[in-house]
Amino acid sequence: MLGFTKNNDKTEEAPEVGADEKNNGDKKIKATKKLKPKIGLALGSGVARGWAHIGILRRLEEEGIQIDVIAGTSIGAVVGGAYACGNLDRIEAWARDLQDTNFLRFLDFRISGGGLFGSNKLGQIMVDNFGDRNIEDLGIPFTAIACELKSGQEIWLKQGPMCDAIKASFALPGVFEPIRHEHKWLVDGALVNPVPVSVCRAAGCDMVIAVNLSEDIYGRARAKRQGILETGEYGVFNEIASAPTALGRIGKRSFIKRLFGHQEDAPSLFANMVASLNILQNRLSRSRLAGDPPDVTILPRCGHVGLMEFHRADELIKEGVLAFDEALPHLKDALAIIHHRMNS
């Protein structure tokens, strides 16, 4: 595993000035320096549901909570990387602009190769938003999590081109083609570490905040009972069959219809594959978090949104805000306890 070098340096606040020092210029009292906890943020995988991360990052800023380390898996790497680059505004604007099937414009449909979709178009979006920056040059230490396809090894991408690391981290097996990196084929990090708390711990963080997008597994059933389910049971491109203009050539349309078409009471081939990966992610995240629990967990209720419903950014960002506000009292308590422990 490619890990961080542990760094236990603490960021220091401005010295406090004692009352005697203010009132008596001749008598100096040694100023005390208070240590500030090093805070890590672990942003979990979840495909389209990852837009909820945006709302959480906005609320962290509003509360004045400074993040010192960011680790992201899959869509968590996309949003976390944008924040580390200072380009969160641009990613948020792009996400909010997506409408229904226009996300299909950014997919390279393929019949052969390592995935159903190529990464050329999405890769260009990464370049537009992240440029040619290297991870080690960012203002906030950042790591993207990927998985080496041959060995199953967990890979921590913490240096090199930002765009390549993010593309590797969200290369969902079978959906997007694997990414070649240093003579290895890398796929989505959700296969090995869906919520990368361990990366923040290895970076020497005193406190880790985790965002888990996969826990609300009954969200779609809840939405169905309430009559607010926008698409079918699995929420995976169900509208494609009725959007022929988005599919291009006739041959391609036929292939896509076979891939996404389904009987009324059965999932499509694509839905079956993606939903199965979601189950794997949910079970694995529970196991990993039980073995290495964060100090604070934020759980957006976004299970009612399909994994590929990228056009629902507005409500997902709101869900992120709501989840953060629900966790805020616990977050403040944890910060106070850790701060006291470090300075007592």
Q: What angle do CA 194, 195, 197 make, to 5 degrees?
A: 140
Active site residue 325: no
Question: How far lies 89's CA from each of 82, 210, 236, in Å?
Answer: 8, 22, 27
The DSSP output letter for 140 is S
CA–CA gap between residue 191 and residue 280 (Å, rounded): 8
Tokens representing residue 277 in the block: 């990966």
User: How many Cα atoms are found within 13 Å in the side-chain-facing hemisphere of 327?
Assistant: 24
CA–CA gap between residue 252 and residue 256 (Å, rounded): 6
- In the chain, which residue ranges form alpha helices assigned H by DSSP? 19-23, 52-62, 75-85, 88-97, 120-130, 162-169, 197-202, 219-226, 250-260, 269-291, 313-343
Query: Of these residues, 45, 119, 164, 188, which one is catalytic?
Result: 188
Question: How far lies 133's CA from each of 81, 126, 127, 285, in Å?
Answer: 11, 11, 9, 30
Active site residue 214: no
Query: Of these residues, 45, 74, 198, 268, which one is catalytic?
Result: 74
Catalytic residues: 74, 188
